Structure formats: C-alpha cells, structure tokens
Structure 1
Amino acid sequence: MLVTAPAVSRSIPRFPASPQRALLAVAAQPARMRSVRRWADGLLRHWGIAASACDSVVLVVAELATNAVLHGRGDMTLSLALSRGLAHVAVVDSGAMTVSGGRADTAPDEHGRGLELVRALALSTGHHQSALGRRAWAVVRVDDSSDGAAGAPRPSRVRRR
C-alpha cells in the first residue's frame, strides 16, 4: 500500500534518499502488532542487517508502534529506511501528544518503560505533533563500524533503577 507522508517542519529529521525504504499502513490495534514486528524483522533481514542489530531495531519499531496503538486512533503508518549504517524508524498516528511517564491507573512495572528502551537503543529520538497527528521517530546504528555492537545500548545513556 502506498502512503504519502504529511509535510513536516525542517526541524524534524527526514528520511534519507535510499532504495532501502519501506512504508506499512495498518490499523492501530493490538492484534496487528505481531504483523508489524514480522514486517520489520523480515525487511531488515532482507536488507542484510545482522541478527543482533535487527533485534534492536525490531524492538524500537514495536515500542513506537505500541505507543501508537495505546494512544492513537484509527490507523498508523510505519516507515523504515536504511542509510549509511543507520536504521531510521518512524511511526505516524492520529493521536495527540501525551506526556510520557506511565499511566496512573496501572502498576509502574506495566507501563512507561518502552520509550526508555527506545532512548537506550537509539542514537537519537524525537516526536512531533501536527494537525494530522503524532510522529515518533528513532535512529538506530545497525553496522559495526562504531565502538560497541550495533544496536547495543550505550552505558552512558542507560539508567539503572
């Protein structure tokens, strides 16, 4: 399915021009999460990404998509692109921006850690609200050219509880 993205401001990172780019539009429903993870995993493996880096990117995709399911309405669009050893992940949904930090009606162990995981795995993350909805994004290293394993958390950014 071909999906066009809404216009975004210049302060939001744009996907690189790359032949390794894909979009997936699905209903923002819990039942679709398995297919979202399988789509990302299959695509990354097809692009030749190592298993450990693939697992990290799939986790980031799943966490951002889960937030769209929990806080969005209707459909969500997932974007995945690969450029210069970096995976660019974005999820767009029709929800309004919410304050992170978990939900008051649930135990702290059940909600609120997903974005912390995303921040630990990603080189950069962000979000943007527009009239059309919310866009959350992350950039994850998928090559081994840097110090440490691809997609591995950097100790200086991982908080211990």
Structure 2
Amino acid sequence: MTRAVAAAVPELRHFARSAAQRWGIPQDACDTLLLVVSELVTNTVLHSGSSDVMAVIVFDGVAVTVEITDSGRWLVRDVKEDQDADFGRGLDLVRACTSWCAVHPSASGTRVVVRLPAESGAGR
C-alpha cells in the first residue's frame, strides 16, 4: 500500500515491472501490464479521493491478475458529455488490453480486478 499521489504511478509501475521480469513474462505482455497498472493507479490518484492505493499482482503461469484497491469512490462519468474530451478513456483502454475487467465499488472503497494473458502478443 502506498499514498494515492502522483508518485504512486511510477512506483507501482516499477513494482509491476520487477515482478514481470522475475516471472520471465515476454516484453510485449509486460508493456501491457505496465500500461494497465499505470491507468488504474492514475484513476485512483485523479478520481477516487482516496488517500491510499494498493496493488496486488499475481502470475499463474498463463496470465497475470492485477488488483488495484483504494479507499475512495471513483467518479462516475457522463459518457455522452465526455465523448470529445482529451482524457477519460483509461478504463476503456484497460478493458481493451485485458481478457477480463471488473470494477467493484463499495462503501469502503473501489477495487478493480483485471486479468491479462502473459504470452507474447496475447490479448491484442
């Protein structure tokens, strides 16, 4: 767990990169993992109002599961209103890069769980 500040994004991205390298995950799958972690942690920092963020990353030999948890509540966007905005597409990008994505808001915070293939070229 770390503070939900801008520095958390590169910190947790570094954590994910180190884990992927230990597991021998191919570079393109690692790049996707880093993108997903960056987007989800950025959402927490910018949109949740949380003071903290936690990342859990698990590799089962086939795929990587990423769980990002915070103690805040993500703001709900008006998709029609945001259609032409320069930002606001992070979660859509995460969904496009992963084989599974679930957002679990609750009174105690938000938990996002995603799964992405760990083979070279997978998931795209």
Q: Same fold per TM (> 0.5)?
A: yes
Which whole-Å deviations, capped at 9, do the CAs of 1:12-59 have from their partners, x for residues lacking one? xxxxxxxxxxxxx11000122111111111111111101110000111
**Count of residue pairs the alignment pairs up:** 121
Pick the structure with greater CA Rg: 1
Q: Does 2:27 align with 1:71?
A: no
How do 1:47-62 residues align onto structure 2 when only pairs under 5 Å count?
47-62=23-38
- Matching residue within 48, 67, 73 for 1:96: 73
1:13 maps to what in 2?
A: none
Change (3 A) 1:28 1:50: same
Higher helix share: 2
Whether contact under 8 Å (1:101, 1:112) holds in the other structure is: no
| Alignment-derived partner of residue 108 in structure 1 | 85
Comparing both chains, which one has the higher relative contact order based on Cα–Cα distances under 8 Å and sequence gaps of 6 or more? 2
2:34 partner amino acid: V
Stretches of 4+ aligned residues off by more than 4 angstroms: none
In structure 2, the residue matched to 1:127 is 103
The CA RMSD over aligned residues, in Å, is 1.9
Q: CA deviation at 1:128?
A: 0.7
Aligned to 1:81: 58
Letter aligned with residue 106 of structure 2: S
- Report the Cα distance in structure 1 between the residues aligned to 2:77 and 2:18, rounded to whole angstroms: 30
For residue 136 of structure 1, what is the aligned residue in structure 2? Answer: 112
1:98 partner letter: L
**TM-score, with length taken from structure 1:** 0.69
Identity, % of aligned positions: 35
What does residue range 1-80 of structure 1 map to in structure 2 within 5 Å? 25-72=1-48, 73-80=50-57
CA offsets 1:83-141 (integer angstroms, 9 cap, x no match): 14110011111111422457x69x712x1111111111100101112232110121100
After TM superposition, give the deviation of residue 79 of structure 1 in Å.
Answer: 0.8
The unaligned stretches of length 5 or more in structure 2 are none
Q: Structure 1 residues 100, 125: CA separation in 2 closer, same or farther (over 3 Å shift)?
A: farther
- TM-score normalized by the length of structure 2: 0.87
Unaligned runs of 5+ in 1: 1-24, 154-161
